[in-house]
Structure 1
Amino acid sequence: MKALWAAALLVLAGCATAPPPSLVAGVHEDIKYDMPPVRPAVRLFAPVDISHDGVPDWHVDYERQGMAWCGTGGCTQKLFVSRPGGGHVLAFEEQVRQFALRLAPDGAVLDIEIHGTNCGLSGVNACHRSFRWDDAQGRFIEQPNRQGDGRLAGPLFQTVPVAGADYPPAVGVALSELTAACERLGGKYEGALVSRSPDLTGDGRPDWIVGSEYSGCIRRGPDGEAAPVGESGLRIISGDAVILSLDGPVHAVDVATAPATFISVTTAEDCGGYDQEGCMETPYRWDAAAGRLVAGTPVRGRSLWPE
């Protein structure tokens, strides 16, 4: 895994400082059961400047701890960013193959290359994602990657894990509805159920997608073999409202538009593979007057391809 650094994002020269003890203690908890010898957690930390508030932010590189923290998707990396009033927020946590911070006109940008399944491809394929630091929201926001591609296919990559306790109430309601519908069919709703989505309504806040091609209504046989039971469905939540309901769960989000465009993908036998045509895709854009996402003209999308 390569960690690339823009000089402007390194901590100010000559500023000798140490990471907060609370952050070091948390990383120590991560590594304390690794194969001995377990060396001091502080050695995994490096100061960086993301929030530009004069307080060091911290990059934690678990590759330095050894291969226990690495796999086909690269090595675990974390970023902690200082916040107004003190303290740091966990802003990134994931395995990556490449990891680079750079300066852009609108602030710090994180460029990563991750496991190909995050782009709906295979593990050997590259998947590039880029994120801009938004200080008002205190988190990284999706943007087109360095190759200029804003289409987020595959499961929506989450820069930090999102706990169920952080879901808005409307997300819990939608999840309960889909779960109950599945149970009425004699199945169990399983898989990647909830994702925090890029802003689809232009209000500057993230939205939520309940359901994906990686979730489904499943009935399991005596041997544990899974069989799908009907469509799993999909809901998009903005604030406390459902702004789109669909039967088909396969989708992508394009962050090259503002607000982002939701894309519903209709799969069929003649689409979706490396040597096949692209599937039919319906773009949905926010209509403020209607208070919902409105469908555009369906088009034949692009097929998957290996790099």
Structure 2
Amino acid sequence: MRPAALLSAFCLTVFAPAAQAVAQTPPEALVWMVLNDINITGLDRDMPMNRPPIVSEVPEGMIHAVDLSSDGQVDWLIDYSKAGLSQFCGTGGCRLVLYVSDDDGEYRRAFDNQVLAFDISRRVGRQRLEAQVHHGACVPDDWDCRYAWAWNPTTGRLLPIPTDAGRTRLDNGGYPAIAQDADGAEPMEPASIRMTLAASRILCPAEDLSLEGQLRQATAAALPDLNGDGKDDWLVQQPIPCDGDSAPDSELHISQVNGDPIQAMTVDSAKTLAIDIGQAPALLVLDKVPMRWEPARRSFVPTE
């Protein structure tokens, strides 16, 4: 499917599930946040008077009541494409944010990334979110690249699941439910992962001496359970080197029942990495070779 067709599909299908939701009044806090996001985009502190009119009402169709956690409480979906501002959209579609209720009656940001199209529906007895995303998130490039998730109340995050078409491969760890550069992202990583990220920081000098250098840091993404303990495992991608001439390596960190995850493998940037969630626990696929975690060896070994 070509890019124009993708955008057309996004406009036609993105609100199919929302139209079926019972009408609800959005929480005041969400309304304030959305209005703030819209109005701050037109702010120029050097010329504060030269700005578009203040938006005082949320554009129609921007905040929707949905049901993903199936806990009897409303979940909330925010579609930033309805704001009519280019800042919220790009080649991967427009920003979509989902807040899911938890057992304590609070809301947790479960999804915050760009999508071209999405659908919330019930399959095999549970609610699921499936999204069409940028083709580069699939290997090889696929113009109909899709990933799916279901809410996991135990971990308090979205869990990758097979798509409607049966795709179980998460290329490069899959499409992140929350983008790494999402504003206000609350770190949910274990302490050892946070320490790994902090230790990875490098300061790259600016080309122009009048500018400040650029601070780079590794990124971390939660992975489906690879060792059968029911806990998230982690993929850490090291920062891009300052010279930009080489791709960064990745690290796989495996969770422990009593303790933080441990680094189990360094993955060379020249190798392809994927996670196959077609079985439990999930399999690591390295250069097309399926591998399983071997506790006795504390390493991954090819499957028989």
Partner in structure 2 of residue 170 of structure 1 = 192
Which of 126, 129, 134 is equivalent to 2:147? Answer: 129
Contact 1:264/1:282, CA 8 A, preserved across alignment: yes
- TM-aligned CA distance change 1:165 to 1:83, over 3 Å: closer
The alpha-carbon deviation at position 292 of structure 1 amounts to: 3.1
CA offset digits 1:194-239 (Å, max 9, x no partner): 2211111222221111227xx55x252xxxxx2239x735232314
Amino acid at match of 1:60: I
2: distance between equivalents of 1:25 and 1:174?
A: 35
Partner in structure 2 of residue 268 of structure 1 = none
Amino acid at match of 1:46: H
The alpha-carbon deviation at position 246 of structure 1 amounts to: 2.7
The alpha-carbon deviation at position 65 of structure 1 amounts to: 0.8
- TM-aligned CA distance change 1:233 to 1:138, over 3 Å: closer
- TM-aligned CA distance change 1:176 to 1:89, over 3 Å: closer
Partner in structure 2 of residue 100 of structure 1 = 119
Partner in structure 2 of residue 185 of structure 1 = none
Which of 50, 56, 65 is equivalent to 2:74? Answer: 56
1:166 partner SS: coil
**Which has the larger displacement, 244-253 or 91-100?**
244-253
Partner in structure 1 of residue 281 of structure 2 = 259
Unaligned runs of 5+ in 2: 1-9, 43-51, 203-213
| Runs of 4+ residues over 3 Å off in structure 1 | 4-7, 9-12, 34-37, 161-165, 172-180, 188-193
| Pairs within 5 Å for 1:276-287 | 281-287=288-294
Amino acid at match of 1:294: F
1: distance between equivalents of 2:20 and 2:153?
A: 18
- TM-aligned CA distance change 1:97 to 1:25, over 3 Å: same
The alpha-carbon deviation at position 130 of structure 1 amounts to: 0.8
Amino acid at match of 1:236: H
| Pairs within 5 Å for 1:1-307 | 1=10, 2-6=13-17, 10-12=20-22, 17-34=24-41, 36-37=52-53, 38=55, 40-41=57-58, 43=60, 44-68=62-86, 69-122=88-141, 125-154=143-172, 156-161=174-179, 163=185, 165-175=187-197, 193-211=219-237, 215-216=239-240, 218-220=241-243, 226-228=244-246, 232=249, 234-239=251-256, 240-242=260-262, 244-249=264-269, 250=271, 251-265=273-287, 281-288=288-295, 290=296, 292-296=298-302
1:284 partner SS: strand
CA offset digits 1:57-84 (Å, max 9, x no partner): 1111111111412221111111111222
Q: TM-score, normalised by structure 1?
A: 0.73
Identity %: 29
Contact 2:173/2:235, CA 8 A, preserved across alignment: no
Q: TM-score, normalised by structure 2?
A: 0.74
Contact 2:93/2:133, CA 8 A, preserved across alignment: yes
Aligned length in residues: 261
The alpha-carbon deviation at position 140 of structure 1 amounts to: 1.4
Amino acid at match of 2:262: V
Could you say what the CA RMSD is over the residues aligned between the two structures, in angstroms?
Answer: 3.1
Contact 2:293/2:301, CA 8 A, preserved across alignment: no
2:245 partner SS: strand
2: distance between equivalents of 1:237 and 1:118?
A: 23
- TM-aligned CA distance change 1:80 to 1:247, over 3 Å: closer
The alpha-carbon deviation at position 27 of structure 1 amounts to: 1.6
The alpha-carbon deviation at position 137 of structure 1 amounts to: 2.6
Contact 2:59/2:82, CA 8 A, preserved across alignment: no
The alpha-carbon deviation at position 116 of structure 1 amounts to: 1.0
